[in-house]
Structure formats: structure tokens, C-alpha cells
Amino acid sequence: MSQQYVPPTKDIINTLYHSAVITGLAVAYSVIGKKLIKLDVGDPAKPDMTDFIKLTAVITLSVASKDWLVIHKIIPDDIINSK
């Protein structure tokens, strides 16, 4: 009889938190890029290499911004701490 791994609720909540922060920052960078430099990350249904590079840049900026915000204690690293 095999047992399935059930992640603790805190892990699920923290994953949702991290996803929401990265998504929010990515949307913000996409909007700013579209307004300032006419950056369009493209149609996800028809990606090409240029769209892939633009999307990678937006996600990289988002992750770096999240890390910076955590380091400067502007946002928490996790919503629910393991301690």
C-alpha cells in the first residue's frame, strides 16, 4: 500500500503567496514596458524566440525585484513561517 505525500497547508499557502508576488510584479513590468518602450511580450499561443526572450526578461526582473523586496524587509519571505 503506497502512501501519497500531502504537503502541509503552510507550504501550499507560501507557494500561492510566492506565485502571486511574482505574477503581480510580472504584470506590473509588462504594463510599464508596454507604456514606456512599447514592449509586447507576445501571444503565448504563437511564441517565437523574440517573445521568449522578452518574457524571460520580465520574469527575471520580477524574481530579482521580489528578492530585493525580501532582503530590504519590505515584504515577508513567507506568509506562514515554519517555526
So what's the pLDDT on residue 21? 97
Confidence of residue 82 (pLDDT cuts 50, 70, 90): low
Element (H, E) at 7: none
Full-model pTM: 0.79
Confidence of residue 28 (pLDDT cuts 50, 70, 90): very high
Cell numbers 507604456 label which residue? 35
Instruction: Show Cβ contacts of residue 70 under 8 Å, excluding neighbours closer than 6 positions.
Output: 76, 77
Cα end-to-end span (Å), the chain? 32
